[in-house]
């Protein structure tokens, strides 16, 4: 199976994208790419990675997003795989607009599993297309920033870029 890949030099680190049949199937900061690549191989088996300038138009949309069009990622087609529960969580995440945040509990209620905040957290941690499926928009019930695969500094930057104002006690420190 062939997967097209490209790199985008974002303000918060190089992002590697992987697109299969026109759908984004992996996105990772370069420091997390080896792990994401292994996950692609577990999911699809033998994968031939082919360099492309702008697979699926994702690079151009990332450029627009980082240039200030924070809704530029909203309509990128994704094929994230995952379990039925993970896919429900990821669909709900895509419904959280730029500039807004949601708690794990609120997201659990949104997917019809109000007691599953921890499972929602696990689904966020397994998200293979972060930034596009915006798991950075999920915060703790107390407003604090919590784990993010790209690191809390990147999460903080992404939220600020989208216009989220983090007040006292909301900056993860």
**25 catalytically annotated:** no
For residues 54 and 76, what is the distance between their CA atoms, to the nearest angstrom?
A: 13
Tokens describing residue 100: 């807004």
Question: What are the residue ranges of helices labelled H in the chain?
Answer: 33-44, 58-66, 84-94, 104-110, 117-125, 152-161
Candidate list 72, 89, 132, 135, residue with the active-site label: 135
| 155 backbone dihedrals φ, ψ, rounded to 5° | -60, -45
Are 15 and 7 in contact, with CB atoms under 8 Å apart?
Answer: yes
Which residues are identified as catalytic? 135
């Amino acid at each position: 199976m062939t997967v097209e890949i490209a790199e985008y030099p974002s303000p918060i680190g190089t992002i590697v994208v992987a697109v299969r049949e026109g759908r984004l199937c992996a996105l990772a900061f370069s420091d997390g790419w080896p792990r994401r690549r292994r996950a692609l191989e577990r999911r699809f088996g033998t994968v031939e990675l082919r360099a492309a300038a702008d697979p699926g138009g994702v690079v151009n949309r990332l450029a627009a997003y980082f240039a200030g069009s924070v809704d530029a990622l909203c309509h990128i087609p994704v094929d994230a795989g995952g379990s039925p529960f993970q896919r429900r969580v990821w669909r709900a995440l895509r419904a959280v607009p730029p500039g807004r945040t949601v708690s794990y509990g609120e997201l659990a209620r949104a997917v019809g599993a109000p007691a599953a905040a921890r499972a929602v957290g696990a689904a966020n941690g397994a998200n293979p297309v972060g930034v596009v499926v915006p798991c950075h928009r999920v915060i703790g019930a107390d407003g604090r920033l919590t784990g993010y695969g790209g690191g809390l500094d990147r999460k903080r930057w992404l939220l600020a870029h989208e216009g989220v104002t983090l007040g006292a006690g909301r900056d993860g420190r």
